[in-house]
Amino acid sequence: MPDSSTISDRPSPARSGRRKPSRLPLYQKWAGLLILLILLILVATALFHLVRERLSPAPPPPQPPLPVQVETLAPSDFQVTYRWHGSVEVDERALIAARVTSALLELPHREGDRVAQGEVLFRLDDTELAGERRRLEAAIDRVQHELAGAKRDLARQEDLRQQNLASQKSLEDARLRADVLDAQLAEALANLDLTGTRLGYTIVRAPFSGHIQQRFTNPGELALAGNPILELVADSGFKAVAGVSQADLMLLSPAAPVSLEVPSLSNTRWPARIDRIYPALQPQTRKATVAALFPEDAAGLKPGMAVVVHADILLMPDAISVPVQAIAGLPGDPHVFVLISDSVHRRNVETGPRSAGRVLIIQGLTAGEQVIVTAHPSLRDGIEVRPQAID
């Protein structure tokens, strides 16, 4: 029988505070393993299907036929019309400058005012020139009197010389004095004429009828000779000035018929003809400059308005043409897509000029064929399409 003291010395579980770890039942362990196994199987199955789809993807579903618009080709007149943009200008436009240096006394017109031909544009101070004219007139009167006396003295010396009562030197002196006075009179008369001309420059009149575009000087300021006082723009003789490329220039000639359109005037068109072709090209654009005159009855025009010059250059009867968007391919390899039994067939073509959104076909298509005019990147040989005729 054990000793009671030995039994009392053993620590009890409650006293020690320790618990033995509990063990899971066996069926719970098997259930956890089974769930883990099922998860591994599901992951492996998903990976298997994913790899199989990437290695051998399923065929794409069949695409419906591509809807396209087609045009049945028919011969018609093909008119090549060129358009060049420019501006409205006037044939007469002038910077009116002072021709003598003097103070500006009068400048009666302001910007926008209309003046008639011959109407006074401005006046300069003529005080100094008027005084110079009076001085010259007095000098001329004096020289004329002196010349008359010198001529009488010359006649007397000639008479005395014939009688041997005067020396040859006296005769020559009298003749020299008369010649000098005659030259002085001619010089004074020329100066008087020049002064009269310069006096005329102090009153400047309009060389043509028009409107004041701009004033550069105000009354009271000193107007220097050669400096502009105002700009005058004619109100008639309007012309359309446009830049034309060097290639298009070869198609034009003076007097070629054109039509002029000013978009801001309700797209009105006026018939006209090429009036002139400027000889030099524009240095910035390398374009030629052409001008066509508006009719005299063209109303509402103002310098600086935008204008479009239309020129019908080429007319080809019974020609085959297609819309611009029907042409595919890079420059140098143009082609179209022809519809044959709802199937697309590529056709190489030779193209000509463009006009009004269409391209002239020189070779490659015939009347009656159906051309696809829908520009679509999926178009290629052999695909099926669902055609729709153009209205």
Quote the CA–CA distance of 174 and 387 in Å, as a whole number: 116
List pLDDT tens digits, range 241-278. Answer: 999 988 888 878 888 899 999 998 876 889 999 999 99
Tokens of 185: 């009179």
* 166/224: higher pLDDT: 224
The predicted pLDDT at position 332 comes to 80
The model's pLDDT over 301-336, given as tens digits with 9 standing for 90+, comes to 889 999 999 988 778 888 999 999 888 887 788 999
CB 222, CB 104: distance < 8 Å? yes
pLDDT at 110 over 50: yes
Total residues belonging to the chain: 391
pLDDT of 213 reads: 93
**Alpha-carbon gap, residue 223 to 107, rounded angstroms:** 12
Looking at residues 93-121, what average pLDDT do you find? 95
Report residue 380 as tokens: 């290629």
pLDDT of 15:
47
Nearest to 126 by CA among 226, 195, 191, 37: 195
Mean pLDDT for the stretch of residues 29-47 = 81
Domain at 82-91+234-314, CATH class: mainly beta
What does the mean pLDDT of the chain come to? 86
Q: Which class for 128: exposed (0-12), middle (13-18), buried (19 or more C-beta within 10 A)?
A: middle
End-to-end distance of the chain based on CA atoms, in angstroms? 121
Q: Give all strands of the β-sheet with 370-372 in edge-to-edge order.
A: 343-348, 335-340, 370-372, 66-72, 385-389
Residues 269-298 have a mean pLDDT of 91
Please check whether the domain covering 68-78+315-389 is classified as CATH 2.40.420.20.
yes
Predicted pLDDT at 19: 53
Where residue 229 falls among pLDDT bands split at 50, 70, 90?
Answer: very high
pLDDT tens track for 170-223: 989 999 999 999 999 999 999 999 999 999 999 999 999 999 999 999 999 999
8 A C-beta contact, residue 107 and residue 122: yes
Residue ranges covered by each domain of the chain: 68-78+315-389, 82-91+234-314, 93-122+208-233, 126-201
Residue that is written with structure tokens 């060097």 in the block: 246
Using only C-alpha atoms, what is the Rg of the chain?
A: 52
Give the mean pLDDT of 345-359.
87
- Look at residue 127 in the predicted model and tell me its pLDDT: 94
Better-scored residue on pLDDT, 58 or 66: 66
Q: Are 350 and 361 in contact (CB under 8 A)?
A: yes
pTM of the entire structure?
0.57
Provide φ and ψ at 168, rounded to 5°.
-65, -35
Q: How many other β-carbons are positioned within 10 Å of the β-carbon of residue 297?
A: 6
Q: Which pLDDT does position 57 carry in this prediction? A: 62
Is 60 exceeded by the pLDDT of residue 1?
no
Q: Which helix (H) or strand (E) holds 104?
A: strand 102-106
CATH topology of domain 93-122+208-233: OB fold (Dihydrolipoamide Acetyltransferase, E2P) (2.40.50)
Among 281, 225, 290, CA closest to 256: 290
pLDDT confidence of residue 153: 92
Determine which helix (DSSP H) or strand (DSSP E) holds 332, and give its type and residue range: none
Determine the Cα–Cα distance for residues 282 and 278; give it in Å rounded to an integer: 10
Query: What is the share, in percent, of the chain residues with pLDDT greater than 90?
Result: 48
Is the distance from CB of 303 to CB of 93 less than 8 angstroms?
Answer: yes
Higher pLDDT, 204 or 357: 204
Cα 212 to the center of its chain, rounded Å:
26
**Dihedral (CA of 220, 224, 227, 228) sign:** positive
The secondary structure element, H or E, covering residue 48 is helix 26-55
pLDDT in tens, 137-178: 999 999 999 999 999 999 998 888 888 888 889 989 999 999
The pLDDT, as a whole number, for residue 6 is: 42
In this chain, the answer to whether the domains covering 68-78+315-389 and 93-122+208-233 adopt an identical fold is no
Q: What is the mean pLDDT of residues 354-381?
A: 86
Buried/exposed 19-37: b ≥16 CB within 10 Å, e otherwise: eeeeeeeeeeeeeeeeeee
